[in-house]
């Protein structure tokens, strides 16, 4: 099948190519697409070089599916043009996520909502994806009332510029290098923690925080779930971590929670306090699963659980989730 990857040169686009190859997605022809200034440059896929083409040429080539990771404004402009040409778009930006006419999909949770009519499908925000993969099996059994989440997010979520800032600051601190590096953030990120991800909104929360609130309800198809979030950037590259406090309507046992999570699709439980085993971004890096640990009862109120959730934000939080959506469409003959 012909597959277009739009935004093929970015951090997520590069990961898309890697994940498509690793998962043996049935690509018969790859169409890497990027901005006009990248047209003609090359990207590597399965050991071969492919020339970047323009949006217009990609539409003319009529791929079955186009996986977009090129930012919200590009997506708003171009996704409908691909869709009109009969191409199914899986979009990694926030452009369509809360549009009531578009599906917001995490395959482990709500792929069954997809039909042939869905021509623009939204891939959720990375920090939301890993949380709902871990919480959905528990919601089905105990009914979530409220979630309090604090995140510890990798600089890779911001993009290459932030990786360059962190590594530039490191080099300067360790080797006294005077090399120039860009500032992706207003403040240094090495040896620091920045309690702001994306812009502030009028309610005092950031856009990232409100994504976690709104997207969670949409993916889990339950508007009654109350979510409050604090999202924080930390000097880490392997993945996002989340401290999650969740209150259920019904009571649980820790053994039951552990069993449910151990058999949940896409979840790996790493929870052995006696031997200091718990999920960490350095272990989650380059893995597709969501890692869950530090499972313990919150004794301050009934039916409440604390857990720690870690995942590679460029993989399950972006590329892997998008490719899994494409795999689902293929398996159900929806393309
Ligand atoms: C971040 N959630 O980590 C964003 C990326 N989509 O900044």
The C-alpha torsion from 174 through 178 and 180 to 183, rounded to 10°, is: 50
* 124 close to ligand 1 (CB < 6 Angstrom): no
* 197 close to ligand 1 (CB < 6 Angstrom): yes
What integer pLDDT is reported at residue 76 of this predicted model? 98
Report the chain's C-alpha Rg in angstroms: 20
Q: Are residues 27 and 86 in the same domain?
A: yes
Asked if the model's pLDDT at residue 98 lies above 90, the reply is yes
Q: pLDDT-derived band of residue 100, with 50, 70 and 90 as boundaries?
A: very high
ipTM: 0.96
Cα(62) to centroid(ligand 1), Å: 30
Cα(321) to centroid(ligand 1), Å: 14
What integer pLDDT is reported at residue 289 of this predicted model? 98
Q: Are residues 44 and 72 in the same domain?
A: yes
Of 89, 156, 91, whose CA–CA distance to 127 is shortest?
A: 156
- pLDDT, tens digit, 9 for 90 and up, residues 37-75: 999 999 999 999 999 999 999 999 999 999 999 999 999
pTM of the model: 0.97
* 237 close to ligand 1 (CB < 6 Angstrom): no
Domain tally for the chain? 2
Q: pLDDT-derived band of residue 176, with 50, 70 and 90 as boundaries?
A: confident
Q: Are 293 and 271 in contact (CB under 8 A)?
A: yes
Q: What is the DSSP string of 40-88?
A: T-EEEETTEEEE-B-HHHHHHT--SEEEE-S-HHHHHHHHHHHHHTTPE
Cα(24) to centroid(ligand 1), Å: 27
Mean pLDDT of 104-131: 98
- pLDDT, tens digit, 9 for 90 and up, residues 4-19: 999 999 999 999 999 9
Task: For a ligand 1 pocket test, name from 211, 313, 318, 319 the mutation site with the most ligand atoms within 8 angstroms of its C-beta.
Answer: 313
Asked if the model's pLDDT at residue 165 lies above 90, the reply is yes
Q: Interior CA angle at 165 toward 163 and 168, to 5°?
A: 105
Asked if the model's pLDDT at residue 175 lies above 90, the reply is no
CATH of the domain at 26: 3.40.50.720
Q: Interior CA angle at 10 toward 9 and 15, to 5°?
A: 90
What integer pLDDT is reported at residue 187 of this predicted model? 98
Atom of ligand 1 nearest to the CA of 157: 3
Helices (H), 143-264: 160-175, 207-219, 254-262
Tokens of 195: 């309690």
154 annotated to bind ligand = no
Which residues, 6 or more positions from 255, have their beta carbon under 8 angstroms from its beta carbon?
none
DSSP assigned state of 316: I
Q: How many helices (H) and strands (E) does the chain have?
A: 10, 14
Task: Give the integer Cα–Cα distance in Å for 252 and 248.
Answer: 8
What integer pLDDT is reported at residue 178 of this predicted model? 80
* 189 close to ligand 1 (CB < 6 Angstrom): no
Q: pLDDT-derived band of residue 218, with 50, 70 and 90 as boundaries?
A: very high
Catalytic, 96? Answer no
CATH of the domain at 305: 3.30.360.10
What integer pLDDT is reported at residue 177 of this predicted model? 78
Q: Are residues 102 and 152 in the same domain?
A: no
What integer pLDDT is reported at residue 179 of this predicted model? 83
Instruction: Choose the catalytic residue: 67, 126, 138, 220.
Output: 126
Q: Are residues 27 and 53 in the same domain?
A: yes
Nearest CA to ligand 1 atom 1: 157
Q: Are residues 170 and 95 in the same domain?
A: no
Tokens of 130: 């890993």
Q: Are 144 and 246 in contact (CB under 8 A)?
A: yes
DSSP assigned state of 123: P
Instruction: Choose the catalytic residue: 102, 139, 218, 240.
Output: 240
Share the mean pLDDT of the chain. 97
Q: Are residues 262 and 154 in the same domain?
A: yes
* 125 close to ligand 1 (CB < 6 Angstrom): yes
Atom of ligand 1 nearest to the CA of 94: 6
Atom of ligand 1 nearest to the CA of 240: 3
What integer pLDDT is reported at residue 251 of this predicted model? 97
Q: Are residues 139 and 278 in the same domain?
A: yes
17 annotated to bind ligand = no
What integer pLDDT is reported at residue 233 of this predicted model? 98
Asked if the model's pLDDT at residue 271 lies above 90, the reply is yes
- For residue 84, what are the domain limits? 2-124+318-331
pLDDT > 90 in the chain, percent: 97
Q: Are residues 155 and 303 in the same domain?
A: yes
Cα(275) to centroid(ligand 1), Å: 32
Which residues, 6 or more positions from 224, have their beta carbon under 8 angstroms from its beta carbon?
145
Catalytic, 126? Answer yes
Q: Are 205 and 122 in contact (CB under 8 A)?
A: no
Q: Are residues 45 and 20 in the same domain?
A: yes
Q: Are residues 21 and 99 in the same domain?
A: yes
pLDDT > 70 in the chain, percent: 100
Task: Give the integer Cα–Cα distance in Å for 191 and 169.
Answer: 9
Q: Are residues 202 and 171 in the same domain?
A: yes
Q: Are residues 217 and 98 in the same domain?
A: no
Mean pLDDT of 164-173: 95
């Amino acid at each position: 099948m012909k597959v277009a990857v739009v935004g093929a040169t970015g951090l997520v686009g590069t990961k898309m190519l890697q994940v498509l190859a690793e998962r043996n997605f049935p690509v018969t022809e790859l169409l890497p697409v990027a901005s006009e200034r990248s047209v003609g440059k090359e990207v590597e896929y399965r050991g071969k070089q492919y020339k970047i083409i323009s949006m217009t040429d990609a539409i003319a080539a009529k791929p079955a599916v186009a996986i977009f990771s090129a930012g919200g404004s590009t997506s708003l402009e171009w996704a409908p043009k691909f869709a009109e040409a009969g191409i199914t778009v899986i979009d990694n930006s926030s452009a369509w996520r809360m549009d009531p006419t578009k599906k917001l999909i995490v395959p482990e949770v709500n792929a069954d909502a997809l039909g042939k009519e869905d021509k623009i499908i939204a891939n959720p925000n990375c920090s939301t994806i890993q949380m709902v993969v871990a919480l959905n099996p528990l919601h089905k059994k105990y009914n979530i009332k409220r979630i309090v989440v604090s995140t510890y997010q990798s600089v890779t979520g911001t993009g290459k510029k932030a990786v360059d800032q962190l590594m530039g600051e490191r080099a300067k601190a360790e080797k006294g290098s005077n090399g120039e590096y860009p500032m992706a953030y207003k403040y240094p990120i090495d040896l620091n923690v920045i309690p702001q991800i994306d812009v502030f909104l009028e309610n005092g929360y950031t856009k990232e925080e409100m994504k976690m609130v709104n997207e969670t309800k949409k993916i889990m198809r339950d508007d009654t779930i109350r979510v409050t979030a604090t999202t924080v950037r930390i000097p880490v590259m392997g993945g996002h971590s989340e401290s999650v406090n969740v209150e259920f309507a019904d009571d649980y046992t820790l053994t039951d929670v552990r069993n449910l999570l151990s058999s949940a699709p896409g979840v790996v439980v790493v929870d052995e306090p006696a031997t200091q085993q718990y999920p960490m971004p350095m272990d989650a890096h380059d893995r597709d699963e969501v890692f869950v640990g530090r499972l313990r009862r919150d004794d301050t109120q009934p039916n409440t659980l604390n857990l720690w959730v870690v995942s590679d934000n460029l993989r399950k939080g972006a590329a892997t989730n998008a490719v899994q959506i494409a795999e689902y469409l293929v398996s159900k003959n929806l393309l």
